Amino acid sequence: MKNKEEQFKSIVDQNKHRIERICSYYAHTTEEAKDMHQEILINVWKSLDKFRGDAAISTWIYRIAVNTSLSYSGKTFKKMKLNVDMETENLSSVIDEEQLKQKLQEEENLNRLQTELNQLSVIDKMLISLLLEGLSMREISDVIGLTEPNTRVKIHRIKDDLRKKLKPKSNDK
């Protein structure tokens, strides 16, 4: 049990920023983020005995965080939001970089992106949150358990939908 405790502390310490970021994508308030964070830690503890090192520790942590957020979001399903901000490093992976530069010039456009992201389904939000984390298609497919081509298709479809929705309407030009 001593080993489990040390292993747990070490994993939590090494992955605290990763877990915090995932929580920040889904939770509205500091309190909600804290609750979700705690639930993820509980699930890390519960699943630790079964971790055999088949997957990278980061993949394992993402799986627990995502699976917990899916369970957690059930409690506040309708309220669940995917929170992104200007500092989100991999925002450019969601839409084209050039397009992003134009879009993010104005805060209004960022708000539009935020609004569109919040209208995505829970599964699409989950996929986008992993994309925002900078995971490759291979890593995302390892986390969710779909094949890489299927993951690619799903993400491509979401990005396509987002592009269409963010495309300026003709009368806006």
Partner 1 sequence: MTNKDIKIESLITDLKSKDRWVYNMFVMVFVIFILALTATSIVFAIEEQYDIYNTSTFLVYLLGIAAMGYFGFQIASEYKDVDYGIPTVLMLEGAVRRYQLLHPKSGALLASILFLNLSQVIGCLKFRNDPDFIQRIINSQIPLFVGGIIGFAIGITIWATKQKPLKDRAQKLLNELMSY
Note whether 7 binds partner 1 by CB under 8 A: no
User: Which two structure tokens, joined as six digits, stand for 164?
Assistant: 């269409």
Note whether 142 binds partner 1 by CB under 8 A: yes
Among 47, 76, 83, 99, binds partner 1 (CB under 8 A): 47
Note whether 110 binds partner 1 by CB under 8 A: no
Q: What are phi and psi of 43, to 5 degrees?
A: -70, -30
Number of residues that bind partner 1 (CB under 8 A): 45
Amino acid at 162: L
Q: Which of the residues 117 through 136 are near partner 1 (CB under 8 A)? A: 121-123, 126
Contacts of 120 (CB under 8 A, 6+ apart): 82, 128, 158
With tokens 């983020």, the residue in question is: 33
Q: Which of these, 42, 23, 47, 51, lies nearest to 133 by C-alpha position? A: 23
Note whether 12 binds partner 1 by CB under 8 A: yes
Among 146, 148, 163, 166, binds partner 1 (CB under 8 A): 146
Among 33, 91, 132, 162, binds partner 1 (CB under 8 A): 33
